[in-house]
Structure 1
Amino acid sequence: MRSEIVVPLVIRDLTEADLPGCGWSGSRLHLEHVARELRRDDAEYLVACAAPSGLPVGKGLIDYRKIAGAGTIGQLAVHPVLQSCGIGTALVLAAEERMRARGLARSELGVEAGNPRARALYERLGYAAYGSEPDGWDELAPDGSIRRYETTCVLMRKPLT
């Protein structure tokens, strides 16, 4: 017998107090970066929390300085055991609503070329590819050293009208 449990989702601003519960989204190095980024005036982090526990199950960034006239979604992550449950969709839609409230005409994002599931999500939400660019970031290796991760991202955009 299979049963279904419905858990309400609350999307709100991410705070530093949420970061210990976001270990599934990246290494200590990543979370330290997020903590620094929370202080920016030209960016917003959203967190999706399971109610009533308040436990973070998804997060994402809206960067308002990267591209003039647009908000750029980044660092979108959903707890691995809860992927494909609509949490990523809810975060993207909430981010788009924040951008509209700021009067922005479009949303942009980059998705790793090797991540077809994420790209399919963005395409379902109306994003269209328009180019690609190299990207990279520092990450923590299993031995504790810091290494550079290099990738190529497909650039996608969506009008917010």
Structure 2
Amino acid sequence: MVEVVLRLSVRDLASADLAHCGWSGSEQHLVSVARQLERVRLGEVDYLAVCPASGVPVAKGGIDYCAKEGVGTLWQLAVHPALQSCGIGTFLMEAAEQRIRNRGLRQAELGVEENNPRARALYERLGYVAFDRQPDSWDEQAPDGSLRRYETMCTLMRKDLS
């Protein structure tokens, strides 16, 4: 067995990074991320990238400060599929929580799809507690190029950061 150690850093995601983030979702998803990067300029969101020494993102995620008053709402969290279960998601979450604290907020919330038990297990291990459920949906591009509506049920989770 060979052990590989990666030195990771967290920085703001930049528009130029999107060309390297195809692993995180469809082309339409990346267009959505680009729109969210415009909100970074306005101070409404932070969008983080976790990178090894190469500077190429291997994880990403947003924090919305406008979705709910007094709360940092985490969304669009993703780790490169080949690097999942290596601690990178934990690293991303800890950095996001620190950003929320730096804003003077003491609560983080997120929604996790109910068909994603691995993500939910991570959030629970990090201290998030389920408090509600709600449906969510968005348009996705199908392999044939057409748009389809994706519908899911999410468990809403919260963590006290004080």
Give TM class, smaller chain: over 0.9
Task: Please state how far the C-alpha of 1:7 moved relative to its aligned partner.
Answer: 1.4
Instruction: Map 1:109-120 to 2 at 5 A.
Output: 109-120=110-121
Runs of 5+ in structure 1 lacking a partner?
A: none
Aligned residue in 1 for 2:135: 134
Aligned residue in 1 for 2:19: 20
Distance 1:89 1:35 in 2: 24
Instruction: Map 1:20-99 to 2 at 5 A.
Output: 20-40=19-39, 41=42, 42-51=44-53, 53-99=54-100
User: Aligned partner of 1:49: which letter?
Assistant: C
The alignment's C-alpha RMSD in Å is 0.6
Under a length normalisation based on structure 2, what TM-score does the superposition of the two structures give?
0.97
Distance 2:115 2:68 in 1: 24
Structure 1 residues 106-139: Cα deviation after superposition (integer angstroms, max 9, x where no partner): 0000000111100000000000000000001111
Q: Secondary structure at the match of 2:67?
A: coil
Runs of 5+ in structure 2 lacking a partner?
A: none
Distance 1:119 1:113 in 2: 8
Distance 1:58 1:105 in 2: 24
Q: Secondary structure at the match of 1:39?
A: helix
Runs of 4+ aligned structure 1 residues displaced above 3 Å come to none
Identity of aligned residues (%): 64
Task: Please state how far the C-alpha of 1:105 moved relative to its aligned partner.
Answer: 1.6
Distance 1:137 1:59 in 2: 19
User: Aligned partner of 1:57: which letter?
Assistant: V
Under a length normalisation based on structure 1, what TM-score does the superposition of the two structures give?
0.97
Aligned residues: 159
Structure 1 residues 25-48: Cα deviation after superposition (integer angstroms, max 9, x where no partner): 001100011111101120111001
Distance 1:145 1:45 in 2: 28
